[in-house]
Amino acid sequence: MSSGRHLAMLALLTLGAMAVPAHAATIQIVMENLVISPAEVSAKVGDTIEWVNKDVFAHTATARNGNFDVTLAPKQSASLVLKKAGTVDYYCRYHPNMKAVLKIAP
């Protein structure tokens, strides 16, 4: 093999080794004092959303488009893996003034 080809193969192998696939993230959203924080989150399909209820009463994370409806007991948490791209408005069914948005990229 010529040294030019050898260098080209070595460069390709090095670049291939550097291209590490992105790992899914876990994004924490807190429900406390009748507020969802942060109120707007950007995520990707495959990421996990973990809602943490720090209040002394139950909450829900209910998608207006029907994609999910998660119930959180007081002082508990719940998780959901995002499966579909799009913008999802959600709220607490028990406290409708608690609203938030998930922006989910492919």
Question: Encoding tokens for residue 96?
Answer: 């409708």
pLDDT at 11 > cutoff 90: no
pLDDT at position 56 is: 97
Question: Encoding tokens for residue 74?
Answer: 């007081």
pLDDT at position 20 is: 43
59-99 confidence digits (pLDDT tens) = 999 999 999 999 999 999 999 999 999 999 999 999 999 99
pTM assigned to the model: 0.77
21-32 confidence digits (pLDDT tens) = 468 899 999 999
